[in-house]
């Protein structure tokens, strides 16, 4: 047992070892093999940083990875995945950085490598988000990555190797549990160096219910009396629709035209006091109204329940409560 423990410790220690070209350069990568590095840096095998990448370069040699880090403002180390020739130029974004065990990945602190690899860019002073570019003999700073991370409410990063901040690139996201994603699931590091989210995560209505604002609506499949409509909505954990304002009224009108509905019960009534209209849902008086021309007329003294009516040009009409009409239920959106 003791032998097994010592072997395990030995392997851990061995994961930090001296540099060799064969370890980091492909046999056919002449440029990498012929580098004039005299004092190689230290490499930690099997460990990589996540959520630290300022830039992520694909299909580059380890040598290029080191050089790009030296040119990039705030780069402190690199993580290199040899299988993909994938280079993460890592900053020191402390709060979110994780160091994880990852087979086939190695990391190296840039301070352990000779800066002569990047010539004049070795001592650049480009700002956050910029890299040093050498044009002939002249140093310029070019925008290369976004600062910070995108702020997307209720969303989780959906990239296996963590966040990177490359200028012009998108990072894939998914919504937190139960929320619906609208748009494309990406946050993009815009060319201005600012993150732009291409989606929102929002609460959604369950199947069969339609969303409007932060409420869900259900169109009853068959016709019922006003009382039965009200009861069916309550059974569904909702209430016969209450129209609060003009925008909800307009939206219901489009629901009617879209679904070829001629008449639709709403929860306003004047059953208690003739001419005093209340919402049965919460017993409040009706403020916003959209009565059709000549309505409410309490025709034959027997019209006490309100409907939306195509005949009244999708305005309101007081009708006979025992008529059977379609109806629409409403409830607040749930988490
Ligand atoms: Ca409403
Ligand atoms: Ca009436
Ligand atoms: Ca009427």
Q: Token pair for residue 286?
A: 């009706």
pLDDT of residue 117: 82
pLDDT of residue 44: 87
Q: In this predicted model, what pLDDT tens digit does every residue of 155-199 receive, in sequence order?
A: 999 998 889 999 999 999 999 988 989 999 999 999 899 999 999
Give all strands (DSSP E) within the chain, no chain letters.
Answer: 16-17, 43-50, 53-57, 77-81, 86-90, 98-109, 130-135, 138-143, 155-157, 170-175, 179-189, 195-203, 210-212, 215-219, 239-240, 263-269, 278-279, 305-309, 315-319, 326-332
pLDDT of residue 29: 65
In whole angstroms, how large is the CA radius of gyration of the chain? 33
How far apart, in whole angstroms, are the C-alpha atoms of residue 43 and residue 46?
A: 10
Task: Say which residue the tokens 């027997």 belong to.
Answer: 302
Protein residues near ligand 3, an ion, with CB under 5 A: 295, 297, 299, 303, 317-318
pLDDT of residue 24: 62
Q: Is the peptide bond before 296 cis (omega within 30 degrees of 0)?
A: yes
pLDDT of residue 11: 40
pLDDT of residue 25: 66
Nearest ligand by distance to the CA of 330: 1
Nearest ligand by distance to the CA of 294: 3
Q: Token pair for residue 266?
A: 């709403």
CB distance 223 to 232 below 8 Å = no
| Residues whose CB falls within 8 Å of the CB of residue 103, separated by 6 or more in sequence, listed in order | 46
Report the 10 Å Cβ neighbour count for 138.
Answer: 8
Q: In this predicted model, what pLDDT tens digit does every residue of 3-16 receive, in sequence order?
A: 433 334 334 333 44
Nearest ligand by distance to the CA of 292: 3
| Kind of pairing between the strands at 43-50 and 77-81 | unpaired
CB distance 155 to 163 below 8 Å = no
Report the 10 Å Cβ neighbour count for 333.
Answer: 16
The answer on pLDDT for 1 being more than 80 is no
Mean pLDDT of the chain, nearest integer: 88
Centre of ligand 1 from the C-alpha of residue 249, in Å: 9
| Residues whose CB falls within 8 Å of the CB of residue 100, separated by 6 or more in sequence, listed in order | 47, 48, 49, 50
Q: In this predicted model, what pLDDT tens digit does every residue of 79-122 receive, in sequence order?
A: 999 888 999 999 986 777 888 999 889 899 999 888 888 889 98
Domains of the chain listed by start with CATH number: 14-26+40-116 (3.50.4.10), 155-203 (2.10.70), 210-332 (3.10.100.10)
- For residue 284, the 8-state DSSP code is P
Centre of ligand 1 from the C-alpha of residue 182, in Å: 23
The answer on pLDDT for 22 being more than 70 is no
Centre of ligand 3 from the C-alpha of residue 67, in Å: 81
Which H or E run includes 42? Answer: none
Nearest ligand by distance to the CA of 299: 3
């Amino acid at each position: 047992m003791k032998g097994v423990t010592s072997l395990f410790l030995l392997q851990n220690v061995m994961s930090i070892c001296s540099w060799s070209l064969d370890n980091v350069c492909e046999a056919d990568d002449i440029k990498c093999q012929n580098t004039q590095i005299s004092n190689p840096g230290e490499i930690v095998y099997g460990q990589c940083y996540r959520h630290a990448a300022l830039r992520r370069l694909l299909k580059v040699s380890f040598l290029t990875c080191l050089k790009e880090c030296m040119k990039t403002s705030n780069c402190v180390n690199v993580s290199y995945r040899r299988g993909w020739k994938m280079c993460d130029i890592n900053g020191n974004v402390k709060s979110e950085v994780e160091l994880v065990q990852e087979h086939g990945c190695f990391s190296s602190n840039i301070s352990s490598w000779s800066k002569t690899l990047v010539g004049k860019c070795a001592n650049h002073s480009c700002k956050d988000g910029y890299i040093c570019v050498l044009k002939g003999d002249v140093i310029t700073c070019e925008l290369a990555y976004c600062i910070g991370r995108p702020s997307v409410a209720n969303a989780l990063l959906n990239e296996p190797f963590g966040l990177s901040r490359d200028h012009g690139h998108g990072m894939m996201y998914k919504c937190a549990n139960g929320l619906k994603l609208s748009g494309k699931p990406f946050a993009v590091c815009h060319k201005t160096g600012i993150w732009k989210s291409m989606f929102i995560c929002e609460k959604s209505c369950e199947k069969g219910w339609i969303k409007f604002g932060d409420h869900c609506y259900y169109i009853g499949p068959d016709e019922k009396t006003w009382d039965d409509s009200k009861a069916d909505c309550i059974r569904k954990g909702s209430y016969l629709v209450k129209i609060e304002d003009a925008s909800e009224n307009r939206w219901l009108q489009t629901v009617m035209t879209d679904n070829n509905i001629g008449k639709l019960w709403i929860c306003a009534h004047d059953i208690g006091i003739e001419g005093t209209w209340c919402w049965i849902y919460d017993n409040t008086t009706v403020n916003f109204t959209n009565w059709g021309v000549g309505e409410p007329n309490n025709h034959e003294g027997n019209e006490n329940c309100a409907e939306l009516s195509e005949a009244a040009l999708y305005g309101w009409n007081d009708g006979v409560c025992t008529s059977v009409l379609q109806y629409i239920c409403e409830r607040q959106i749930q988490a």
